[in-house]
């Protein structure tokens, strides 16, 4: 059989590592999605995507934007973890195409069968899980196999989010969405615990904080427990005070772990303080959930947005800035304007959570400010990093 030469554009730098298309398209899409959401909030734009603007906003930020970034990160990191060449070329083009088609269908095709849109949307996660698992299997590595489970569970929650819409079941939609956010939170907590102490030591030329093994295990176990309760819906059967206790203990453990990483020595390094601030929103969100279950004037939506805008939004931006440099063979010195991008995301999180919580009469204004600052932060990233993501590595190596 004759060898078939792949199209030249398959060998473009964009398709040499998963972080390149996933970060570029994911970040760009988040700006578009947030701009559309802001336009709808302000009454500037009348638009009917799949499920309506509110469903579309929640679905696309969690399963669309965050999905692209997490998959891009995992399919890039797995090469470092295993030494096996990760997804590239035609396979990466296929994966990216699935993601892009799903985003377009969610925006413009509400009349299409829900199951067709859901199938394309979910296929992205299933295929990513397969690519990831195949690399782990090649070297018989088990340590990171739980990421396969997380991707498949995320795919399942995506199915149920679509199915809940088709059945007009708001409770199912909310359950699937919250479950997906808890899965993202687990990824952030696990990965953050691996990299933030190390990056802090390297970036500040100080000794790495000695890990307390029991604290690391207890804090992650508390999050696994909360995620399991959400995924199985057992949290709906527990007394409120039990949920207050579980979230409070988790906040204490995660917060203690976070404080030990010494955020106060990172203020001169934007790539570091952004990571620390983002991680700090996880215990803040857990406290907000505890307050909500205690009957205080804190909505579950506010607590959720502490995770999505605060922890997820800022942590993702910080990781995009760092990974895009490191994996393109460039020094870990971001453009000075990225400090303003990180600050914009931090202020967006404060506006969407603290401002809305303390001044509920300013809720819509808080939403508006948060959306605008999100567009600014991620827009700056795309403007600065598009060239880096579209061109070969600076050191001449493959990837």
Q: Is 301 part of any domain?
A: yes
Do 218 and 291 have their domain in common? yes
- What average pLDDT does range 268-284 have in this prediction? 96
Are residues 369 and 319 part of one domain?
yes
Q: Token pair of 381, please?
A: 């990233």
Q: What's the confidence (pLDDT) of residue 108?
A: 86
Assess whether 300 and 164 both reside in one domain: no
Q: Is the domain of 158 the same as that of 238?
A: no
**C-alpha distances out from residue 128 to 190, 267, 369, Å:** 19, 36, 34
Residues 155 and 235 in one domain: no
10 versus 173: which is more confidently predicted? 173
Q: What pLDDT is stored for residue 42 in this prediction?
A: 86
| In a shared domain, residues 163 and 228 | no
Instruction: Tell me whether residue 376 is in a domain.
Output: yes
What's the number of domains the chain is made of? 2
388 pLDDT higher than 70: yes
Q: Are 221 and 348 contained in the same domain?
A: yes
pLDDT of residue 7: 53
**Mean pLDDT over all residues of the chain?**
93
| pLDDT at 1 exceeding the cut of 60 | no
Residue 285 lies in a domain: yes
Q: Does the residue 173 lie in any domain?
A: no
Distance CA 77, CA 194 (A): 12
Give the end of a domain, one of 139, 168, 197. Answer: 168
The domain containing residue 290 runs over which residues? Answer: 209-388
The pTM of the full predicted model, rounded to 2 decimals, is 0.94
| Tokens representing residue 18 in the block | 């998963």
Q: Grade residue 9 by pLDDT with cuts at 50, 70 and 90.
A: low
- Same domain membership, residue 367 and residue 256: yes
- Shared domain for 47 and 153, answered yes or no, is yes
Identify whether 351 is part of a domain.
yes
User: Are residues 213 and 148 both part of a single domain?
Assistant: no
Residues 107 and 19 in one domain: yes
The answer to whether 320 and 381 are in contact (CB under 8 A) is yes
Q: How many Cα neighbours within 13 Å face the side chain of 5?
A: 3
CA distance 341 to 378: 7
Provide the pLDDT confidence category of residue 101 given band limits of 50, 70 and 90: very high
Query: Is 327 among the domain residues?
Result: yes
Q: Indicate if the pLDDT at residue 204 is higher than 60.
A: yes
pLDDT digits (tens, 9 = 90+) for 335-351: 999 999 999 999 999 99
Residues 142 and 230 in one domain: no
Whether 6 is in a domain gets the answer no
Mean pLDDT in residue range 242-248: 98
Among the candidates 168, 193, 228, a domain finishes at 168
Residue 399 lies in a domain: no
């Amino acid at each position: 059989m004759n060898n078939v030469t792949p199209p030249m554009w398959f060998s473009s730098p964009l398709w040499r590592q998963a972080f390149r298309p996933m970060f570029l398209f994911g970040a760009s899409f988040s700006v578009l999605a947030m701009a559309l959401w802001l336009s709808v909030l302000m009454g500037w734009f009348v638009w009917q995507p799949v499920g309506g603007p509110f469903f579309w906003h929640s679905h696309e930020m969690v399963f669309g934007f965050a999905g692209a970034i997490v998959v891009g990160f995992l399919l890039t990191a797995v090469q470092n973890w295993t030494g096996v060449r990760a997804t590239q070329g035609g396979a990466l083009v296929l994966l990216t195409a699935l993601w892009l088609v799903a985003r377009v269908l969610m925006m413009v095709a509400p009349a299409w069968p829900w199951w067709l849109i859901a199938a394309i949307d979910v296929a992205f996660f299933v295929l990513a899980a397969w690519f990831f698992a195949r690399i782990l299997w090649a070297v018989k590595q088990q340590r990171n196999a739980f990421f396969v489970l997380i991707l498949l569970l995320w795919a399942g929650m995506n199915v149920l989010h679509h199915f809940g819409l088709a059945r007009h079941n708001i409770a199912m939609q909310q359950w699937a969405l919250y479950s997906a956010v808890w899965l993202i939170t687990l990824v952030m907590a696990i990965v953050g615990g691996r990299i933030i102490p190390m990056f802090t030591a390297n970036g500040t030329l100080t000794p790495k904080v000695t890990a307390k093994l029991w604290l690391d295990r207890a804090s992650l176990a508390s999050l696994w427990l909360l995620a399991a309760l959400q995924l199985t819906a057992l949290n709906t059967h527990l007394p409120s005070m039990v949920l207050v206790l579980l979230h409070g203990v988790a906040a204490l453990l995660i917060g203690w772990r976070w404080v030990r990483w010494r955020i106060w020595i990172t203020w001169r390094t934007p790539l570091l303080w952004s990571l620390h601030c983002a991680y700090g929103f996880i215990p803040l969100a857990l406290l907000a959930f505890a307050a909500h279950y205690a009957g205080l004037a804190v909505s579950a939506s506010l607590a959720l947005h502490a995770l999505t805008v605060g922890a997820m939004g800022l942590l993702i931006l910080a990781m995009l800035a760092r990974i895009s440099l490191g994996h393109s063979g460039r020094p870990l010195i971001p453009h000075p304007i990225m400090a303003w991008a990180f600050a914009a995301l931090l202020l967006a999180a404060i506006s969407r959570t603290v401002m809305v919580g303390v001044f509920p009469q300013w809720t819509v204004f808080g939403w508006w400010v948060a959306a605008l600052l999100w567009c600014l932060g991620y827009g700056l990233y795309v403007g600065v990093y598009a060239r880096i993501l579209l061109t070969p590595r600076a050191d001449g190596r493959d990837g």
